[in-house]
Every structure is written in C-alpha cells, then in structure tokens.
C-alpha cells in the first residue's frame, strides 16, 4: 500500500504532526497540499517539502475560507486535519470562556467546517483522518478542556463514518509527543517535561512526530478501516 499519485490536503500541515504526515506522504509519492492561517508558516513548510508541494493560507474558523480553499484545490483523495494551537491548560475555574471557545473553534468546529467544505471534492475511495488525543481516555488534572475536545472529536469521527459511508472516516489519538505545541514553554522546562513524562511511559520516552505520522498514513492506505480511533501513545493509557 502506498500513496503514489494521491492528492492529500493537510489542514495544520505546516508544523508538528501535520508537517511530519505531509513529509511521510511525499515519501510515498503523494501530492500534498498543506494549509495554515499564517503565510510565513506555509512558505517555510513548502520550502522544506519540495517544489511539488502546494501551500495555501486559509482560516479553519471561516466557512468562506474553507469553501475557497477546496474550490481552489479541486478534487483530491484524502483530508487530514491536525490544526491546533498550543494546548489550553488550567483548572476550569481559572480559564476564560473566550479561551475555551477559541480552543473548540479551532480543534472541533474547524474540523467540522473543513469536512463539510471538503465533501464535494473527495474522490471515490478517499478518506478523512482527524485528530484527538489520549486525554479522552486518561485526562490529567488541568486538561479538562483538552479532554473534552478529544472526546468530542472521537464521537464526531464515529458519527461521520456512519453518515458518510462508504467514505472512510478515522481519527488518530496521539499520546505525549515532542511537537511545537509545547513551544510556549521555556526550552529547559520543556526538555525536563519530556524526560519526566517519557520515563513514566512503557517505552521509556515521549513520541516523535514522525512516528505519529505513520498512523495517518496507515489510515489513508488501509481501505478496510473506518470509524476507528488509532491510539499511538507509548503505552500512556496503561500507566
């Protein structure tokens, strides 16, 4: 199985897991379209992916922007949604509701808007791969909003798999991964966090974005998988 000559749109594909997925798909021969709301991130990602990659500036919170993106892209095979800013930490009583709504806007409502706009353009035999996280199954203190978002995304995936069949819809649930999501922390604190978190996992370390990307490729390639949550977490839900 490979993605030779397939066209893949990755919203959030300019950094972290999305970029790693774009790079891995390119290695399997796919044409990739990566999107972000920031022009600088788009240009940097396209330069790193190579001349045949396409970059688009689009806002997942705008239905008009999503419709324009997919109209410009045209027909394609697979939609991957990894868009998301830094994680929202903190106990509920200390969080501003505006920040909570912003987090849901990008990670949940943005995904819904993207799927809605993409549907007329996904070719027969294609698929949709969304993103959650293991907080849906094992929610640490301070990640109430993240756990809620992950749970919502997994429920959405199952419902879409039924509604859109035979179009396949799946979701990847990463555990603790070294990505730019943690870039708002000082480097020394971030590395200490990686070491501490990794030592508690069954594999003895945190994950890398390239490892998580392989789950997205699997779900695009395997035509008998739909409605599933693929957990890739180094054993995080078991400890």
| pLDDT tens-place string over residues 45-87 | 999 999 789 999 999 999 999 999 999 999 999 999 999 876 7
Q: Give me the half-sphere count of Cα atoms (radius 13 Å) on the Cβ side of residue 235.
A: 10
pLDDT in tens, 125-169: 999 999 999 999 988 888 899 999 999 999 999 999 999 999 999
Please state the rounded mean pLDDT for residues 177-181: 87
> What would the two tokens of residue 102 be?
């912003």
pLDDT of 28 over the 70 cut: yes
Question: How large is the average pLDDT for residues 174-182?
Answer: 88
Could you check whether the bond before residue 169 is cis, i.e. omega within 30 degrees of 0?
no
**Helix 16-27 vs helix 39-49: crossing angle, to nearest 10:** 30
pLDDT at 147: 94
Q: Please tell me the predicted confidence (pLDDT) of residue 207.
A: 97
Q: Which pLDDT score is estimated for 127?
A: 98
**Reported CATH class of domain 7-181+209-232:** alpha beta
Q: Tell me the average pLDDT across 9-17.
A: 96
Q: How far apart are CA 71 and CA 183, in angstroms?
A: 33
CA 214 to chain centroid, in Å, comes to 12
pLDDT at 42: 96
C-alpha 17/C-alpha 177 separation (Å) is: 9
Contact 220, 78 (CB under 8 A): yes
Could you give the CA distance from residue 9 to residue 137 in angstroms, rounded to a whole number? 28
Q: Please report, for residues 20, 65, 159, the alpha-carbon distance to residue 171 in angstroms, rounded to integers and kept in the order given.
A: 16, 24, 12
pTM (predicted TM-score): 0.95
1 band by pLDDT with thresholds 50, 70 and 90: low
- Mean pLDDT value across residues 200-204: 97
pLDDT at residue 208 tops 90: yes
pLDDT bin (cut points 50, 70, 90) of residue 182 is confident
């Amino acid at each position: 199985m490979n993605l030779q000559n397939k066209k893949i749109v990755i919203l959030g594909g300019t950094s972290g897991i999305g970029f790693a997925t774009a790079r891995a798909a390119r290695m399997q021969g796919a044409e990739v379209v990566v999107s972000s709301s920031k022009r600088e991130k788009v240009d940097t990602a396209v330069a790193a992916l190579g001349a045949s990659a396409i970059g688009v500036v689009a806002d997942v919170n705008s239905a008009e922007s999503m419709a324009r993106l997919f109209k410009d892209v045209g027909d394609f095979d697979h939609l991957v949604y990894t868009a998301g800013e830094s994680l929202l930490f903190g106990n509920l009583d200390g969080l501003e509701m505006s920040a909570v709504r912003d987090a849901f806007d990008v990670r949940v409502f943005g995904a819904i808007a993207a799927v809605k706009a993409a549907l007329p353009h996904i070719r027969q035999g294609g698929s949709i791969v969304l993103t959650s996280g293991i907080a849906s199954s094992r929610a640490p203190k301070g990640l109430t909003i993240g756990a809620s978002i992950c749970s919502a995304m997994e429920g959405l995936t199952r419902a879409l798999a039924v509604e859109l069949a035979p179009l396949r819809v799946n979701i990847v649930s990463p555990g603790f991964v070294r990505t730019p999501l943690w870039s708002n922390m000082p480097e020394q604190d971030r590395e200490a966090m990686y070491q501490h978190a990794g030592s508690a996992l069954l594999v003895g370390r945190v994950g890398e974005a390239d490892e998580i990307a392989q789950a997205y490729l699997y779900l695009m390639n395997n035509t008998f998988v739909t409605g599933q949550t693929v957990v890739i977490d180094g054993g995080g839900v078991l400890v």
